[in-house]
Amino acid sequence: MIANIELVAVVSGAACVAGLVLAVVALVGTTRPAHPGPGARARRLSRLWRGSGTPRQQRDHRLLLGCAVVAGALAFLLTGLPVVGLLVAVAVPGTPWLFSVGRAEQQAISRIEAVGEWTRRLKDVSSTGQGLQQAISGTIATAPEEIEEEVRLLAARLQAGWLAKSALLAFADEISDPVCDQVVAALILHLSDRGERLGDVLGAIASAAAAEVATRREIEAKRTQPRFAVRFLTGMTLLTLAYGLVNTEYVRPYGTPTGQLVMAVLGMAFVGLLAWVRAMSQPPRPARFLPAPDPSEAIA
């Protein structure tokens, strides 16, 4: 009887994983992407450890990974089940990632708004007859906090002798948003034709950025329900894990090799489901149209 129950549990877990895989295939497709080279894999692994963002965010990311290893080891020592330790280790960095659903989009909207404000200020400064480099340097003191570091770096590159086009492309690559691409494209065109309508173009882009911010905030408000579902499922998962750590009787049936296999399959399926629901609650990343800067052409 017990063997039949274990067999049913294994088959059910495998069916959950198979359904999840088929759903992902239906959304993503089966076209194989270009095979990444060894350098791309090394950069991906390095980014997985270092994290992204500011130096402080990268330091917090590495600290969180260290806490995940320690928490997973403690969970294994308390329960004697390696899969529990693995699930706890995944939950430590995964929980903030799941609870922060929507934060990246909020930051992106704030950066678009900041780009619009900076563009408006750049328009006012450039209308006084200053050159582009002087105008950009003149906006450092009043640059919005969200892009202050990028604006300072742009001005520093121009003062260090970078080609204006390369410095502007690097600035757009750091902001990584189509609205900023529009601003940079207008500035690059101004470098070549020296037209007198730069202020009008920058003003129009700033107005379009404000409309973009209003639209994206309206869409963001409609995504609250699926994001609440992500947070709810994450909270229930944490309660289940905590109960399993406190009450060892709850996880005792999973102490056998077959039980560990069932726990691993169900855990992978549930983690994949949470990640899938989170991905569905996120908007698609807007496509950019400016190329990445060429380091070999940076210095004149």
Residue 21 has φ and ψ, to the nearest 5°, of -65, -45
Q: Please say if the pLDDT value at position 117 is more than 90.
A: yes
Distances (CA, A) of 289 to 19, 96, 150, 181, 292: 37, 32, 19, 7, 10
State residue 16's pLDDT score: 40
Question: Which range is least confidently modeled, 29-33, 55-59, 166-170, 243-247?
Answer: 29-33
State residue 87's pLDDT score: 85
Residue ranges in 29-54 assigned as alpha helix (H) = 38-50
Q: Please say if the pLDDT value at position 12 is more than 60.
A: no
Average the pLDDT over 201-228 and give the result.
84
pLDDT in tens, 35-89: 444 455 565 666 666 666 556 767 877 888 888 888 888 888 888 888 888 888 8
pLDDT in tens, 27-50: 334 444 444 444 555 656 666 666
State residue 238's pLDDT score: 77
Task: Tell me, letter by letter, the H, E, C secondary structure of 154-214.
Answer: HHHHHHCCECHHHHHHHHHHHHCCHHHHHHHHHHHHHHHHCCCCHHHHHHHHHHHHHHHHH
State residue 248's pLDDT score: 72
State residue 42's pLDDT score: 61
Question: Which range is least confidently modeled, 15-29, 38-52, 192-206, 258-272?
Answer: 15-29
Average the pLDDT over 2-28 and give the result.
39
If you ran DSSP here, which 8-state letter would residue 35 be given?
Answer: P
Q: Please say if the pLDDT value at position 255 is more than 80.
A: yes
